[in-house]
Structure 1
Amino acid sequence: MRITGRRENRDGQEVLVLTRKFRAGIEDVWAAVSDPDRMRRWIGTWSGDPAAGSIAFRMTAEGDDVPEEVYDIESCEPPGRFAVRSRAAAPFSEDGSGERVHWALRVDLVEKDGVTTLTFVQALADGPLGPDMVASVGPGWEYYLDRLVAAMDGTDVDAVAWSDYESGSAAYRALFTD
């Protein structure tokens, strides 16, 4: 797997940044990443009233057993930007024994000449958890963003196979190891 993510420091915080380009207008891409019905095609869905400041999000692409998580909306500026933070700190490790982290996510959209660039940013935990966390979430976000590309292109989202992304863990860990 070729990784497309990059490491950045934004305001003193280590972040993972991934981009994708779409031959589509910004409004169409905005709908794909914010409308619950369109999101269901590639990642999950949400419920609630964003005007109240939070939503409940559930990843449907991982099966029916995944619980809803509440995300507080830190900013929402249609059709160009939104940022959310998980309300509950989730255990990072697969077995639930690791450090608990909040998921801080941001999406920025910019359109130029009929091409919309999506920039996805996830803040990472400080310290040794950073490389371990990115080894997991880096390939995961590659997978989900490629599912978004498929959904936008009208191709079979289920043809994007998770098994093609699992090998990216070592490369992502190396990217974030000093």
Structure 2
Amino acid sequence: MTADELTTVDGRPALRMERRLAHPVEQVWRALTEPERLNRWYPFPVASLDLRVGGAIRFDDGEGTTMDGVVVELDPPHRFAFSEHAPEEMGREGDDIARFELEPDGDGCLLVFTHVFDDRPGAASYAVGWDTCLGALRAVADGREPEWAAPPPSALEEAVDRFGLGAGRIEEASGEAVLTVERQLARPADEVWSMLAGQGAVEPGARVPEGFRAVGVEAGPVTEVKHPALLEYAWTDGGARAGRVRWELSPGTGHGARLEVVQTAEAADRGRLAEALPAWEARVREVGRRAAGLEP
């Protein structure tokens, strides 16, 4: 049995994933809490673990990246939760929480895994990654060596759609109305840039390549370019500048880039952004599907 949902815990995004395992609670508990077993399936190697509430956890990938954690819940053999404080270069804002809950279920058990975090657009890649890890946990509980097959890029796009992560938003900031659509992509920034910009170089003052446009939004000239991370241009209404459109590609979760598209307008023109929002959602979804190889 598998069941995944994106919910909230204490106002923060949270993935909740259920898996039925064909082993008693005690056997799975050992795979969750004994470092030599935990390190065979958990995505970040555990260097040390003090298994008590308030006990420290040290994560170390052996390549220079370390994280500190703290055990925040412990009820053997049913509940184990800990925080992860990521280093600044990983780009996380707050401590993530990982919680594992086990309940007997017939001749096996039900595992409920919850990951609490702040980066909601990253939920799709978290879900794909955790599905792989929980599959490896099943193998460890079985007494087998996990097989780490890379998930197909399409899995990311399926998760984005399943969790409704393609929806944009319109807010007000500094007297402007601001439309934003974000999406985690399956390819790195340089590959996505080439896909959007085509073969020619893009320079300030040039015509905006079709890849960076949306239906119904009149594009003025390019105003700023930082290959392969940023392209900004004016959008116009009847030839007059009405605001700006900004495409940004930054490091995301997983192996691909994070795409953020922003369109701004005067606060009084919020309705124009509302009209444009479906087109931007469709455009960004098309970029995601092309990056995943689902569309030409």
**Contact between 1:134 and 1:176, CA under 8 Å: does it hold in 2?**
no
Match of 1:119 among 112, 125, 128: 112
TM-score, normalisation: structure 2:
0.49
Match of 2:157 among 170, 173, 177: 170
Q: Any idea what SS the aligned residue of 1:164 has?
A: coil
2:42 is the counterpart of 1:56 = no
Q: Within 2, Cα distance between the matches of 1:81 and 1:30?
A: 9
2:30 is the counterpart of 1:31 = yes
Unaligned runs of 5+ in 2: 168-296
**Contact between 2:128 and 2:151, CA under 8 Å: does it hold in 1?**
no
Larger radius of gyration: 2
Aligned residue identity for 1:53: G
Q: Within 2, Cα distance between the matches of 1:11 and 1:101?
A: 13
More strand by share: 2
Q: Within 2, Cα distance between the matches of 1:111 and 1:58?
A: 33
Q: Any idea what SS the aligned residue of 2:157 has?
A: helix
Residue 120 of structure 2 aligns with which residue? 130
Aligned residue identity for 1:27: E
Q: Within 2, Cα distance between the matches of 1:76 and 1:66?
A: 29
Residue 63 of structure 2 aligns with which residue? 65
Q: Any idea what SS the aligned residue of 2:77 has?
A: coil
Aligned residue identity for 1:32: A
The verdict on how the C-alpha distance between 1:130 and 1:74 changes in structure 2, with shifts beyond 3 A counting, is same
Aligned residue identity for 1:79: P
TM-score, normalisation: structure 1:
0.77
Deviation at residue 82 of structure 1 after TM alignment: 1.4
Identity of aligned residues (%): 25
Greater than 4 Å deviation, 4+ residue runs? 88-91
CA RMSD between the two structures: 2.4
**Contact between 1:16 and 1:134, CA under 8 Å: does it hold in 2?**
yes
Aligned residue identity for 1:130: R
Which structure would you say has the larger RCO, counting Cα contacts within 8 Å and 6 or more residues apart? 1
The verdict on how the C-alpha distance between 1:137 and 1:100 changes in structure 2, with shifts beyond 3 A counting, is same
Deviation at residue 48 of structure 1 after TM alignment: 4.2
2:40 is the counterpart of 1:41 = yes
Q: Any idea what SS the aligned residue of 1:24 has?
A: coil
Match of 1:160 among 132, 148, 154: 148
